[in-house]
Amino acid sequence: MQLKQTLIIAVALSVIGIAAWELYWRDQGKIPDLDDDKNLWAVQRAEVENASKNDVVLLGSSRVLFDIQLDEWEKETGVRPIQLACAGGSPIPTFHDIVNYTDFKGTILVGVTPGLFFSTTFPEAGPWKRPQTRIDYYEDRTYAQRLNHWLSLPLQKNLAFVSTSEEGWSDDIDLKSLLNTIDIGNRTGKPKDPPFYAFQYIDEDRNNYMSERTATDTAFANSIQRVWKFFIMSNTNPPDKESTTKFFVDDAKKFMERGGNLILLRCPSSGWLKGGEDKFLPRTEYWDTLVNATNAKAYHYEDYEQLKHLECPEWSHLSAPDARYFTTELVKIMKSDGALSNSKTN
């Protein structure tokens, strides 16, 4: 066998093939980006183990992830927060994990997205399972998995075609995702999920921001709005205010009793989504009840003139410039209230 010749041909063709693939996807507008996966989350979760009383941990759903910008927060306070918000998830499991399995006594900011926060305490339900899966992964991850993550970062940062995502975006370009876009008829007769395209970028420390396209291309923003509509309209489970509030309040008391600083935050929403939240999860019944029960410092964006007029391009999250503005103004408000008392602020 002339294996040397075979190897040379294989290497040459592989390099050509992969380079062509990379160039093709860059030409299609793809850029190298990181995946907000369990590895990225676990690295931040590990930071909590050594966090001091001055540190700040951000919990919540995607709204905290999009709307709180770490650079602006750090600029205002001198402390870079640890971002542990989890898109599509309730913050309660992560809060429970930190309160019960660490001795963290700094500041925890909990974002309250009513539809997710008050959804459930059932471990198998999506809003609970999503963050819990990450918590479990953090607990169980092996040294090999940690090493794999560190080795994958330079590839993710430099190659556009490396794009496998945990979320499974409709515009992912790994082979499985590309094959999943092939549709022949509708054999099952079930309505198809609307396409859900990635609409953000994330940094290594999980500083996350909305893509410019989402903020400027109305048709694209509308495609995300259709996804929110689909999720909300197909969810038949009623909110579980009592269980979620009780579960959270028990942990909140425990955290504050040991000297922790708890802050609740309601981030902006707009349009049809805001209308639905006002109608089915009204502030007086949900947010106010939670604030009263926890007795924590609480910030609702509608209470502040400088925040209440912000518009979300796809109803649920702020554009990158608005998120920077929101963060700066919010921190100023919290500082003036002395809400960041645990944190050494400038």
In the complex, which residues of this chain contact other proteins (CB under 8 A)?
1-14, 17-18, 21, 142-145, 147-148, 151-152, 155, 161-164, 166, 173-176, 179, 182-189
Give the shortest CB-187-to-other proteins separation in angstroms: 5
Which residues lie closer than 8 Å to 71 by C-beta, 6 or more apart? 207, 324
Give the shortest CB-30-to-other proteins separation in angstroms: 13
Six-digit token string for 220:
């694209």
Which is nearer to other proteins, 71 or 136 (by Cβ)? 136
Which is nearer to other proteins, 129 or 300 (by Cβ)? 129
Give the shortest CB-204-to-other proteins separation in angstroms: 17
Which is nearer to other proteins, 148 or 218 (by Cβ)? 148
Determine the Cα–Cα distance for residues 117 and 244; give it in Å rounded to an integer.
Answer: 7
Instruction: Supply φ then ψ for residue 290, to 5 degrees.
Output: -65, -45
Determine the Cα–Cα distance for residues 293 and 110; give it in Å rounded to an integer.
Answer: 15
Confirm if 45 and 84 have CB atoms less than 8 A apart: yes
What is each CA distance from 110 to 96, 231, 289, 319, in whole angstroms?
Answer: 12, 23, 15, 20
Give the shortest CB-84-to-other proteins separation in angstroms: 21
Which is nearer to other proteins, 21 or 325 (by Cβ)? 21
Which is nearer to other proteins, 14 or 341 (by Cβ)? 14
Confirm if 92 and 244 have CB atoms less than 8 A apart: yes
Give the shortest CB-240-to-other proteins separation in angstroms: 24
Report the candidate in 247, 260, 327 with the shortest Cα–Cα distance to residue 297. 260
